[in-house]
Structure 1
Amino acid sequence: MDILNQNEEIFLTVAEVFEILSSKMDCDFIAGYNGMNNRCEHIAVWETPDGTDWLRGHEFLLSSGYAMHEYQQYLPMFVQKISEHGGAAVAIKRGRYLSEFTKDMLEEANRCKLPIISMPREASYTDVTAKFYEKLFYKRNSALVRARNIDSRLLSLVFDYNNTEEVVVALSSLFGISICVYDNAYIESFSCYTADGFHREAMEEFRKRISAQKNAPAAPDEAPNKANRTEPIKLCLPYGDFYAFELRLSDTRLNYRMCVISSNAFDGQQLSAIEQGGMVLSLKYNSEERTAFRELHLRRTATELMLNSEIPNRELLQSIEGDFTWNSRGHYCGIVISYQDRSENGDPDRLKQYMYSVINRLFKGQYLITDRGNAIYIFIKVRNNEDIKRFAERFEMYLTHFPDGKPRVMIGASNIYNSIKELPSMYHDCLVTTMYRSKSGLVFFDQDDAARFLYPLFEDKYFASCYNKTIGSLIQYDQKNKGLLVETLQAYFDNNMNKTETAQALYIHIETLRYRLKKIEKLTGLNMNDSNDLLTLQLGMKFCQMRGINQVLN
Structure 2
Amino acid sequence: MVNKREKVMKKVEDHLRMTSRQLVQFDTEEEALQYLTDSFQSELSCDFVSVILIENENLIPKVWSGELQWLKESFPLPIHACYEGLFQSSLTYKDIDKGESCAFLDLLNRDKVKTWFTVPLQDESNIYGFCAIGYLEEIPLLQMSNIFTEFGRDVAVALTLAKQKESERKKMWGMEWMNQNILLDESVESLVSKLVERTGKGTQAQFAGIYLFNDKENCFTFQPPAYGKLTKPMYINVKENYEMKEYFPYIETPGGDELTVPMVLDVKTIGVLHVEQKRMGNVFTKEDREILELMANHVASTLENIRLYNNEKNHKKKLHELLNYQQKLIIETVEKDNFDGITSTLSAIFAEPVVLFDRFMRPMSFDDTFGDIHIDTIARAAVEEVSQLQQQDTAFMLTVCKETNVSFWPINGGGDLLGYLAVCVNQKEFDDFDRLTVDLVRNIYSIQFIKQKLVLDAKEQVKDSFINKLLVTSIENKESIIQYANIFQWDPFKHHRVAVLSVDVKHPGHTDEDILAAQATKSLMMDQLKTRIMMNEKDILLATKGDDYVLIVPAEKEENTLQYWKAFKKNIDRWLKTGRADGRAYLGIGSMAEKIEDYYGCYQEAMQALHVVKQRDTENGCAFFEKLGSYTLLHHIKDIEAASLFIKKQLSPLLSYSDGKSMDLFETLRIYLQHNGSIKKTSEALYIHRSSLLYRLEKIQQLLQIDINDSQNRFDLMLAYKLYELSSANEGQLE
Question: Do both share a fold (TM > 0.5)?
Answer: yes
Q: Secondary structure at the match of 2:579?
A: coil
- Give the 5 Å matches for 1:448-527: 448-451=628-631, 454-455=632-633, 464-469=640-645
Q: Please list the CA deviations of residues 327-381 of structure 1 after superposition, one character each: whole Å capped at 9, or x if unmatched.
A: 38744222212332313444232213421342144226963534356x4333344
**Quick one: distance in 1 between partners of 2:387 and 2:685?**
31
Match of 2:518 in 1: 348
* Counterpart among 10, 17, 21 of residue 224 in structure 2: 21
**Quick one: distance in 1 between partners of 2:731 and 2:551?**
23
The answer to whether residue 269 in structure 2 is matched with residue 94 in structure 1 is: no
Match of 1:277 in 2: 441
**Quick one: distance in 1 between partners of 2:667 and 2:495?**
35
Match of 1:422 in 2: 598
| 1:526/1:534 contact within 8 Å kept | no
Match of 2:253 in 1: 69
Match of 1:363 in 2: 534
- The residue identity in structure 2 corresponding to 1:327 is D
Query: Residues 312 and 24 of structure 1: is their aligned pair in 2 closer, same or farther, counting only changes over 3 Å?
Result: farther
TM-score, length-scaled by structure 1: 0.62
Query: Residues 69 and 33 of structure 1: is their aligned pair in 2 closer, same or farther, counting only changes over 3 Å?
Result: closer
Match of 2:717 in 1: 534
Query: Residues 472 and 87 of structure 1: is their aligned pair in 2 closer, same or farther, counting only changes over 3 Å?
Result: farther
Query: Residues 445 and 550 of structure 1: is their aligned pair in 2 closer, same or farther, counting only changes over 3 Å?
Result: farther
Match of 2:383 in 1: 211
Q: Cα offset for 1:278? A: 1.8
| 1:379/1:423 contact within 8 Å kept | no
Q: Cα offset for 1:132? A: 5.6
Q: Secondary structure at the match of 1:199?
A: coil
The answer to whether residue 149 in structure 2 is matched with residue 149 in structure 1 is: no
Q: Cα offset for 1:427? A: 0.5
| 2:344/2:366 contact within 8 Å kept | yes
| 2:496/2:593 contact within 8 Å kept | yes
**Quick one: distance in 2 between partners of 1:307 and 1:490?**
41
TM-score, length-scaled by structure 2: 0.48
- Give the 5 Å matches for 1:37-76: 68-69=252-253
Q: Cα offset for 1:253? A: 7.8
- The residue identity in structure 1 corresponding to 2:609 is T
Query: Residues 502 and 132 of structure 1: is their aligned pair in 2 closer, same or farther, counting only changes over 3 Å?
Result: farther
Match of 1:334 in 2: 498
Higher relative contact order (CA closer than 8 Å, sequence separation 6+): 1
**Quick one: distance in 2 between partners of 1:338 and 1:550?**
22
Match of 1:56 in 2: none
- The residue identity in structure 1 corresponding to 2:606 is C
- The residue identity in structure 2 corresponding to 1:150 is Y
The root-mean-square deviation of aligned C-alpha atoms, in Å, is 5.5
Match of 1:109 in 2: none
**Quick one: distance in 1 between partners of 2:461 and 2:325?**
38
Match of 1:376 in 2: 549
- Give the 5 Å matches for 1:243-254: 243-251=405-413
Q: Secondary structure at the match of 2:471?
A: helix
Aligned residues: 444
The answer to whether residue 369 in structure 2 is matched with residue 195 in structure 1 is: yes
- The residue identity in structure 1 corresponding to 2:225 is S
Q: Cα offset for 1:320? A: 2.2
Q: Secondary structure at the match of 2:225?
A: helix
Match of 1:443 in 2: 623
Match of 1:399 in 2: 576
Q: Secondary structure at the match of 2:715?
A: helix
- Give the 5 Å matches for 1:313-332: 313-327=477-491, 330-332=494-496
Q: Cα offset for 1:197? A: 0.4
Query: Residues 18 and 420 of structure 1: is their aligned pair in 2 closer, same or farther, counting only changes over 3 Å?
Result: farther
Q: Secondary structure at the match of 1:149?
A: helix
**Quick one: distance in 2 between partners of 1:245 and 1:527?**
73
| 2:332/2:341 contact within 8 Å kept | no
Query: Residues 29 and 65 of structure 1: is their aligned pair in 2 closer, same or farther, counting only changes over 3 Å?
Result: closer
Query: Residues 526 and 338 of structure 1: is their aligned pair in 2 closer, same or farther, counting only changes over 3 Å?
Result: farther
Query: Residues 173 and 409 of structure 1: is their aligned pair in 2 closer, same or farther, counting only changes over 3 Å?
Result: same
**Quick one: distance in 2 between partners of 1:273 and 1:501?**
66
- The residue identity in structure 2 corresponding to 1:538 is Y
Mean Cα deviation higher: 410-419 or 284-293? 284-293
Q: Please list the CA deviations of residues 418-462 of structure 1 after superposition, one character each: whole Å capped at 9, or x if unmatched.
A: 4454321320231232224542333333333344xx34x6667x9
**Quick one: distance in 2 between partners of 1:502 and 1:99?**
101
Q: Secondary structure at the match of 2:394?
A: coil
**Quick one: distance in 1 between partners of 2:372 and 2:670?**
56
- The residue identity in structure 1 corresponding to 2:470 is M
Q: Cα offset for 1:314? A: 1.6
**Quick one: distance in 2 between partners of 1:35 and 1:150?**
41
Match of 1:267 in 2: 430
Q: Cα offset for 1:409? A: 1.6
Query: Residues 537 and 321 of structure 1: is their aligned pair in 2 closer, same or farther, counting only changes over 3 Å?
Result: same
Query: Residues 361 and 171 of structure 1: is their aligned pair in 2 closer, same or farther, counting only changes over 3 Å?
Result: farther
Flag structure 2 segments of 5+ consecutive residues without an equivalent. Answer: 1-187, 190-211, 215-219, 285-290, 651-658, 676-681, 688-695
Query: Residues 473 and 193 of structure 1: is their aligned pair in 2 closer, same or farther, counting only changes over 3 Å?
Result: farther
Kindly, what percent of the aligned residue pairs are identical? 11
Q: Cα offset for 1:194? A: 2.8
Greater strand fraction, Structure 1 or Structure 2: 2
Match of 1:110 in 2: none
Match of 1:47 in 2: none
**Quick one: distance in 2 between partners of 1:160 and 1:442?**
46
**Quick one: distance in 2 between partners of 1:328 and 1:208?**
38
Query: Residues 543 and 376 of structure 1: is their aligned pair in 2 closer, same or farther, counting only changes over 3 Å?
Result: farther
Q: Secondary structure at the match of 1:311?
A: coil
Q: Cα offset for 1:34? A: 4.5
Q: Cα offset for 1:321? A: 1.3
| 1:413/1:443 contact within 8 Å kept | yes
- The residue identity in structure 1 corresponding to 2:590 is S
Query: Residues 182 and 489 of structure 1: is their aligned pair in 2 closer, same or farther, counting only changes over 3 Å?
Result: farther
Match of 1:112 in 2: none
- The residue identity in structure 1 corresponding to 2:556 is R
